[in-house]
A and B are shown apart, each in its own frame.
Chain A
Amino acid sequence: SQTIHQWPATLVQPVGSPLSLECTVEGTSNPNLYWYRQAAGRGLQLLFYSVGIGQISSEVPQNLSASRPQDRQFILSSKKLLLSDSGFYLCAWRTGTVAFFGQGTRLTVV
């Protein structure tokens, strides 16, 4: 069966520090992968999606970037975090009409 792993679960980082969040999928090949951000009490904002290795599409201009170095690995990064980068970050992969989400990373920038 397919599973999606996302880590870390929580993260507290100072303003101006770098960020790296990792997501891996098991049990499938060439998945469509997505990064979403959710502000407290709000909906999910699509940040990036990828249809294959090295293929990244950005939905929202921001302080973040994404990379897909391997087929089942999707990384969200920032060189310098801003206070506004705080939120709940969710990785997802999609099969057919269903998206499966990782357990998320709660990022607090202080």
Chain B
Amino acid sequence: GQSLEQPSEVTAVEGAIVQINCTYQTSGFYGLSWYQQHDGGAPTFLSYNALDGLEETGRFSSFLSRSDSYGYLLLQELQMKDSASYFCAVDTSGSARQLTFGSGTQLTVLP
């Protein structure tokens, strides 16, 4: 089976930088995804890392180390609207490509 660990809560102030870590254990690993979910809403895709290294998309960056089974999401220049839950998810093989999600990190951005 798959298991993922990420912090349950993170708090930061507007304009700051925050890093949300994710460690995983899985077989048939293809890549690591990050999703954002605002209260009551549907998760939305942020990033996907298949290879080691850093991927940058605007204020958000995502990192993967396959050898360490570790990744992180880096959010820069935090804004109030970034307050949400952030989920890492492992993409694994099977009869269908599956996404298995972590339990999520609640990010609170303070003014």
Contact = CB atoms under 8 A, between A and B. Distances in A.
Interface of A: 32, 34, 36, 41-46, 49-51, 57, 59, 90, 94, 97-104, 106
B96 A44 contact: no
A97 B42 contact: no
A99 B33 CA distance: 10
- Of B41, B48, B87, B99, chain A has the most CB atoms within 10 Å of the CB of B99
A90 B102 CA distance: 16
A94 B98 CA distance: 9
Given A49-B98, A57-B96, A103-B42, A43 B87 contact: yes
B101 A44 contact: yes
Q: With a 10 A CB-CB cut-off, give which of B30, B35, B40, B96 has the most chain A CB atoms.
A: B96
Given A42-B104, A44-B101, A97-B50, A51 B42 contact: no
A39 to B, nearest CB: 10
Contacts of A99: 33, 35, 43, 45, 99
A46 B99 CA distance: 8
The A contact surface, by secondary structure, is strand
Interface of B: 30-31, 33, 35, 40-45, 48, 50, 87, 89, 91, 94-104, 106
B103 A43 contact: yes
A43 B97 contact: no
A42 B103 contact: yes
A92 to B, nearest CB: 8
B43 A44 contact: yes
B43 A97 contact: no
B95 A51 contact: yes
